[in-house]
Structure 1
Amino acid sequence: MSEIADVVIIGGGVAGCSIAYHLAELGITNVVLCERKQLTCGTTWHAAGLVTQLRATRNMTELAKYTGELFTRLEAETGQATGYRQNGSLRLATHEARLEELKRGASMARNFGLEAYEVSPGEIRERYPLVEVGDLAGGIWMPKDGQVNPADVTMAMAKGARQKGVKIREHCSVARILVEEGCARGVVLTDGSEIYAEKVVIAGGMWSRDLAGDIGVSLPLHAAEHFYVVTEQIPDLPRDLPVMFVGDECSYYKEDAGKILLGCFEPEAKPWGHHGIPEDFCFDSLPEDFDHFEPILEMAVRRVPKLAETGIQLLFNGPESFTPDDRYLLGETPEVSGLFCACGFNSVGILSSGGVGKALAAWIHDGHPPMELADVDVRRMQPFQSNSRYLFDRTKETLGLLFAMHWPYRQFETARGVRRSPLHDRLLSRGAVMTEAAGFERPGFFAGDERSREITYSYGPQSWFEDTRAECLNTRDNVTLFDQSCFAKFELRGRDACRILNHVSAANVDVALGKVVYTQWLNDRGGIEADVTITRTAPDCYLIVTLGASQTRDFSWLRRSIPDDAHAIATDLTAGLPMLGLMGPKSRALLEKVSGADLSDKGFPFGTSREIELGYARVRASRLTYVGELGWELYVGADYVQHVFDVLTDAGEAFGLGHGGYFAINSLRMEKGYRHWGHDIGEEDTPMQAGLSFAVDWDKDDFRGRMALLQARERRPQTRRLIQLRLEVPENPPLLYHEEPILRDGVIVGSVTSGGYGHRIGASLGMGYVEHGDGVSSEFLNTGQFEVEVALRRYPVSVQFKGFYDPANDRIRGQEKKGIT
């Protein structure tokens, strides 16, 4: 037996029911939701039901805000009670560093339109009379947060979906997903029947990874045991107690029908289900482990002394799924077109559910995401991250990180060392301290002589600050070697390669052999999907370089841009083509010594690329820079790169060659105002807004996003633009990271997208978008008083469109001038 639907949803938890509800809201009602047992029976039924709104970015916060708005109206709309109430939340700090984190979060919250207030220990006690506050540094009060009954709110969304025509089937288990020619075509049920559909959604919680893995799709998640206790009834317990978070004690508290529910996110979690989840698992709990929970309970009794005289009615242990980076998996999978996912919620599934359902339904309906969702887009993941051993080890850490200090640049400690440059050991021997990006070990910094390799975290200058300063100044004064092998490299080859790339790219790539083109790949709305360099290496062949973290995403975008009848093959060269950056005023002299090539401005102009001899090897040298100095990027076969490295380092001693890491690269690119995809530019930002119009060939007849750009260009002046910021604070300026409010004459006009300290100019820097209805012009920048707000305190900033270091690009051309800043 078979039937036909527009969409099949696999999983009847809060996410699956929300997607069904929102599809129906958009008029897509020929939907079948398949639940293997009963609705909510996996994780949803035992979730704590906390509904907070502040997330790490604006769009994630918007999704959480919408969830609260949905819960507010859902009961009246469906007649199904949800138990939702906005009783607010308190976040407590037991030390000054945590208080700074909370205050930075409060500034972000205000920037996002949320209410957030700093509260003293005394004010905390007023709102939560049971809490001990004698050792607290302070806290934050967010009055619009709340709580909900997870099972009830799921049933409300399911009822709303049914009322609009969605079919919801319990005891309907999916055996496998149908795929034909790389596209989803429906599902096969365990009874042998089939449901054909061109859109399939995996919202199967902790079962999602295995279901996807059967068809070669990577959904990296792993279940972990999650603990909470529920007390016996507490007489006269106020029903309006806010939800309370004590991150320094790994705990949260919520009032629950006259009782207190105390939950935890302990530092070392217990992964579960590594060898499979029982087929009959339904409304099940896991064995109690009081020894594991006891340290949390001991701290909780001191924090809320009433617990010492109150019995425990329930010690609960249930599984929840976690991802390698603590962010959920959402969107269309890169491996199979028409196959979507919403899973791996890292204990934020309830508070995310409304926004997730609305966003994914719009994605299915419109064919593209309704907003920038890069933070949770499944395409950010690397295929290896579905490795079961990797997930088991990483999950021990990720659960606890939800409540740990959210330090800038914090590094994972588990499941490390997976992807390594061929130079890994050589770099370690020279003092490299490795950081991780997309599983790739890369130098964060190089510890100088007698300097510690241990990272001490802070919201101010961290322990590597002076090491990075030395790397930046050496890049300015001498020459520095950067191992940039983690950058993703693709090749597109075939007689149609030029035509395909010219359609994908905003710039013209039909250029002479050896020409390097900096360009963006745009979506149909004119937003930036990728920020790349493209080098024509042969008449029918191009080398494409992009961020390592975007490897899966960008390769999928390229592959799906090749028409079925085109003659072109895309190949991922990343693992076999290490990349070195040789940067600084002495880079030319050093490279000439080891290669004998003509590297003069005339012989090797900026933006060109060619093969040269280096030692006994041949390498591709491209005259480019991401750090604002004279330099070359060197692309070397993996079997030659150790030799090339040795030749450069041996000869480099005479030129003051040093080694540099990615913290230095970030500092150097901030000074130049170079954008970073995922922070400063993304799928909602156009080249005009980002100051990248120079990278658009307006005369090309056809490229993706062209019509949207032309329409946007006609709507002058530009009301939203990226600007550069320099804090005018003479001593101990705060460091900017992301989403700090930008104010003009006391009114919020924008947000910081990224920040760092510029060692060459000696200032704390940032960049971010500002908006103004009458246009963001030089006059707008020059006639206002600009500030940024950091941790609820405002600081004056200078603003301009160009970077603060060498705006004339003299140093890139090798024309050094003293005092260039």
Structure 2
Amino acid sequence: MKTQVKALVVGGGAVGTSIAYHLARAGWDDVMLLERDELTSGSTWHAAGLLPYFNMSFATTHIHDYSIRFYKTLEEETGLNAGFAVVGNLRMAQTDARMDEYMLYASTAETCGVPYQWMTPDEIKAKWPLIRTEDLKGALYHHTDGYINPADVTMAMAKGARQRGVAIERKWQADAFHWTGSHWEVTATKMVERGGNLVPGDEQVVITAEHVVTASGNHAQRTAKMLGIKIPAIPVEHQFIVMDQDPELVAFRKAGNAEHPVIRDADAQSYVREERGGWILGVYERGAPARFEYGVPDSFRADLFQLDLDRIEDQYMAMNHRIPSAENCGLKDDFNGPICYTPDGNPLVGPAPGLRNMWLAEGFSFGITAAGGTGHYLAQLMTQGEAEIDMASLDPKRYGDWMTTEYAARKNEEAYEHVYILHHPDEERPACRPLRTSPAYDRQAARGAQFGHVNGWERPNYFAAAGFDDHDSRSFRRGGWWPHAVDEAKAIREGVGLIDATAFTKHLVRGPGATQFLDWFTCNKLPSVGRINLTYALTAHGTTRTEYTIVRLAQDEYYLVSAGAWTAYDSDYLRKAIADKAPEFGYVECHDVTTQWGVFAIAGPRSRDVLNALVKDADPASVLGNKRFPWLTMRNIELGMVPVRAIRVAYTGELGWELHHPIEMQNHLFDQLIKAGEPHGMKLVGARAQNWLRQEKSYRAFGTELGRDATPLEADLPRFVDLSKDFHGKDAMQAHGIRAKCVTLLIDGPEDADPWGREALYDGDTRVGRLTSGGYSVAFGKSIGMGYVTPEVAVPGTRLQVKMFDRLWDAEVTEDSPYDPKNTTIRVDG
């Protein structure tokens, strides 16, 4: 057994085996995999082996697509048949809303080059007469996927890995991880059989590894404890049953008909596929419990839980409705095993928080589908520094230290039961809420706030009258909340609105080396004292890693504001960069002060009038005027009894200020602002209206327009890039050139719908890009969107089309900032 390797992969399921294979294929010739039991002995062995393309995530769709294509090549490389039955995947819809969901997904699939077909109920019935179709609206059919044998595909990848030099060691358990400052020392213990259990033996070795990847599946909580971090990957029970032969199915196949596709009846929370003349029924029901919250018992190996048929009775009856011939089939076998989930259903893939050269690949609810692509893209991250797609949406640091075991368990149960619940783009799932609340939460709730959550924070999406039901307002078109967001957007454009932006991430960076460090770390000029700048931290590949608003408080003291969803993600990158450059730049402090400061954003033509009523100064009117307080500056002011760090900037593109205040004084400030705003008709405004308004100004948002797959120059932000200085990622950014370009489009779409930012863009019959944001423009009275297109069509006035609801709708590329392009309203004087 090797004791010194470049990369050690811990976990021998489909995911871990794929990672080891792809690291070797990427050129790392010293890779070892440890498995505590036998390969596939975790969730892999009892997985149903389905390969669903369907996913609303751009990154995850690419991962699934790679897997499906990759698995088809394994037999040629290894000589082992991976057991891939390319029978297709039929997603049926019983409602118009489900068809709307499929049409949104289909446009998203087009952006990733994923093939699909539409089928009518009559077409389904003609091809597969055993399926009942009279109550269907239609179906989405992926003819290139199907199902695979999980054990076979894992063994094929393992053989391919061995052929490429990977050492695979079974019955070795990782028991401790120690970072020396330059490499990992992993203590591994030989596992032995005792009384049917697998227990640690007496033999131990210490393995030295430059990189470690954990793909520990159901054992993620044990891994988290050893690493001293939090990993919100906890298994949930998943049941499926295998049925005896169906005589009608046997006759259908004997007549020369092809195997049925995987049949997904999403409105019945179930899937069905053929199995040796019978059927397999799998369900995603309500009430499935989380298991192993605090670790997997030593006695649990390739084991299962007792079946709970009562819990899946409705889904069983629904299957008999959909395939009437199955009603007389007996039960042949049953499976109820642990499948790992995360609170949002997406896996955790990428560098571990706070640790060097430690990589996580945990929390795979669709592990077989994702295994191949995860290995491919994680290997790119590890060997090249970045993947060719933006992996931020899967990054383990999207959850901060506020996350607890109880939170993860309950949210994972919710994610499980939502697999087949309509995935409205405007959905807000209720479990574990409210949890993180700003002090003014109750005051806003009393005024009709309908909250969303970001990074655990409750944040108003919009405000409605008492009794309004946010759940019933959701839609793939313009939901019941839409008129409220329109009114709020108009209030800011025409009067004044107040937005709770407390969830913003905030860091204080200071010290003798702070200026030199930030000048290297970000691509724009640093502001002078009392001023602000928008800037970007880049990856080593020159793409956008983080967006910051930097406020310079003193010569070597800076206040950094970034997206609220990415606190741990931003903090980890910032702290690691500071540590790396400390020998060169000197001492730098970095403090996450997110929870110390509340933020209200006030904006609109009358915003100055509201604040003038609260300013404590000998000449209140002059305090907020352009002479004393110009645009893009910061001033410490007093509003009533509250000391406020006021920043003259507005994400809405109107005259406005961000009011950063001590969070313990928030309720007093809120009450004062409400009182001062009454004479001016001030309206409380939520995140949805703000999102529309920022698109009218072409303000890029991190996580949509800004990410690790595009440079700031491709985002068309040269004004925020100072090419006269050296900064991290500069050379790589320039080497990329302009592969695609960010544009804003005004869209003549359906009368009852707006784009969500997931749609494909076309120039005639040619797909030329995709939307990354979408919504409605109150300024132009039509839909609006932002996205990336090929450079030749990124010209104002170019006519393109947007794919919505299986139709192409006209759109026009506009000038940047179509609303008030000269920023006149922002700069207006008092």
Post-superposition offset of 1:159: 1.3
Identity of aligned residues (%): 33
Q: Following the alignment from structure 1 to structure 2, what is the Cα–Cα distance between the partners of residues 410 and 486?
A: 19
* Contact kept? 2:503, 2:564, Cα under 8 Å: yes
Does residue 418 (structure 1) correspond to residue 472 (structure 2)? The answer is: no
Query: Which residue matches 1:252?
Result: 271
Q: Following the alignment from structure 2 to structure 1, what is the Cα–Cα distance between the partners of residues 422 and 550?
A: 40
Post-superposition offset of 1:168: 1.0
Which residues in structure 2 correspond to 1:515-664 (within 5 Å)? 515-562=531-578, 563-565=581-583, 566-595=586-615, 596=617, 597=620, 598-664=623-689
Post-superposition offset of 1:362: 2.1
Does residue 492 (structure 1) correspond to residue 512 (structure 2)? The answer is: no
* Match for residue 720 of structure 1 among 718, 730, 740: 740
Q: Following the alignment from structure 2 to structure 1, what is the Cα–Cα distance between the partners of residues 178 and 297?
A: 24
* Contact kept? 2:104, 2:758, Cα under 8 Å: no
Query: Which residue matches 2:333?
Result: 314
Post-superposition offset of 1:658: 1.7
Tell me: CA distance 1:411–1:363, structure 2 relative to 1, closer, same or farther (3 Å).
same
* Contact kept? 1:331, 1:378, Cα under 8 Å: yes
Tell me: CA distance 1:777–1:24, structure 2 relative to 1, closer, same or farther (3 Å).
closer
In the superposition, the TM-score normalised over structure 2's length comes to: 0.94
Does residue 325 (structure 1) correspond to residue 355 (structure 2)? The answer is: no
Q: Following the alignment from structure 2 to structure 1, what is the Cα–Cα distance between the partners of residues 433 and 242?
A: 37
Which structure 1 segments of 5+ residues have no match?
Answer: 817-821
Query: Which residue matches 2:251?
Result: 236
- Deviations 1:762-802, CA, capped at 9 Å, x for gaps: 21111111115xx3453xx53x5311111211111122141
Does residue 263 (structure 1) correspond to residue 288 (structure 2)? The answer is: no
* Contact kept? 1:225, 1:317, Cα under 8 Å: yes
Does residue 209 (structure 1) correspond to residue 221 (structure 2)? The answer is: yes
Does residue 433 (structure 1) correspond to residue 450 (structure 2)? The answer is: yes
* Match for residue 781 of structure 2 among 734, 741, 762: 762
* Match for residue 408 of structure 1 among 425, 428, 434: 425
- Deviations 1:651-688, CA, capped at 9 Å, x for gaps: 22122222111111112112221111111111111112
Q: Following the alignment from structure 1 to structure 2, what is the Cα–Cα distance between the partners of residues 757 and 102?
A: 22
* Contact kept? 2:92, 2:139, Cα under 8 Å: yes
Q: Aligned partner of 2:717: which letter?
A: L
* Contact kept? 1:127, 1:241, Cα under 8 Å: no
Post-superposition offset of 1:738: 2.4
Q: Following the alignment from structure 2 to structure 1, what is the Cα–Cα distance between the partners of residues 785 and 486?
A: 17
Post-superposition offset of 1:536: 0.5
Query: Which residue matches 2:370?
Result: 352
Tell me: CA distance 1:711–1:31, structure 2 relative to 1, closer, same or farther (3 Å).
closer
Does residue 507 (structure 1) correspond to residue 558 (structure 2)? The answer is: no
Q: Following the alignment from structure 1 to structure 2, what is the Cα–Cα distance between the partners of residues 443 and 561?
A: 34
* Contact kept? 2:743, 2:794, Cα under 8 Å: no
Q: Aligned partner of 2:333: which letter?
A: L
Post-superposition offset of 1:237: 5.3
Tell me: CA distance 1:275–1:559, structure 2 relative to 1, closer, same or farther (3 Å).
closer
Does residue 681 (structure 1) correspond to residue 698 (structure 2)? The answer is: no
Query: Which residue matches 1:138?
Result: 138
SS at match of 2:600: strand
Query: Which residue matches 1:810?
Result: 824
Post-superposition offset of 1:627: 0.5
Query: Which residue matches 2:477?
Result: 460
- Deviations 1:461-493, CA, capped at 9 Å, x for gaps: 112112212211111222111110001000001
- Deviations 1:256-285, CA, capped at 9 Å, x for gaps: 232211101113322122353211322111
Does residue 788 (structure 1) correspond to residue 802 (structure 2)? The answer is: yes
Q: Aligned partner of 2:819: which letter?
A: Y
Query: Which residue matches 1:797?
Result: 811
Tell me: CA distance 1:248–1:74, structure 2 relative to 1, closer, same or farther (3 Å).
same
SS at match of 1:363: helix
SS at match of 2:568: helix
Query: Which residue matches 2:394?
Result: 376
Q: Aligned partner of 1:664: which letter?
A: A
* Match for residue 697 of structure 2 among 672, 676, 700: 672
SS at match of 1:295: helix
Q: Aligned partner of 1:517: which letter?
A: N
* Contact kept? 2:463, 2:484, Cα under 8 Å: yes
Q: Following the alignment from structure 1 to structure 2, what is the Cα–Cα distance between the partners of residues 377 and 726?
A: 32
Query: Which residue matches 1:819?
Result: none
Q: Aligned partner of 2:135: which letter?
A: D
Which structure 2 segments of 5+ residues have no match?
Answer: 190-199
SS at match of 2:825: coil
Which residues in structure 2 correspond to 1:20-419 (within 5 Å)? 20-181=20-181, 184-189=184-189, 191-234=203-246, 235-236=250-251, 238=253, 240-346=259-365, 348-385=366-403, 387-419=404-436
SS at match of 2:663: coil
* Contact kept? 2:757, 2:786, Cα under 8 Å: no
Tell me: CA distance 1:283–1:560, structure 2 relative to 1, closer, same or farther (3 Å).
same
- Deviations 1:705-731, CA, capped at 9 Å, x for gaps: 21123334xx5xx452111111225x6
Post-superposition offset of 1:814: 2.3
Q: Following the alignment from structure 2 to structure 1, what is the Cα–Cα distance between the partners of residues 522 and 793?
A: 27
Post-superposition offset of 1:413: 1.1
Post-superposition offset of 1:302: 0.5
Q: Following the alignment from structure 2 to structure 1, what is the Cα–Cα distance between the partners of residues 383 and 812?
A: 44
Tell me: CA distance 1:8–1:454, structure 2 relative to 1, closer, same or farther (3 Å).
closer
Post-superposition offset of 1:77: 1.5
In the superposition, the TM-score normalised over structure 1's length comes to: 0.95
Q: Following the alignment from structure 2 to structure 1, what is the Cα–Cα distance between the partners of residues 311 and 155?
A: 33
Q: Aligned partner of 1:633: which letter?
A: E
Q: Following the alignment from structure 2 to structure 1, what is the Cα–Cα distance between the partners of residues 490 and 814?
A: 24
Q: Aligned partner of 1:672: which letter?
A: K
- Deviations 1:528-563, CA, capped at 9 Å, x for gaps: 111110000011110000011111111111111112
Post-superposition offset of 1:518: 0.5
Tell me: CA distance 1:570–1:425, structure 2 relative to 1, closer, same or farther (3 Å).
same
Q: Aligned partner of 1:198: which letter?
A: E
Tell me: CA distance 1:468–1:178, structure 2 relative to 1, closer, same or farther (3 Å).
same
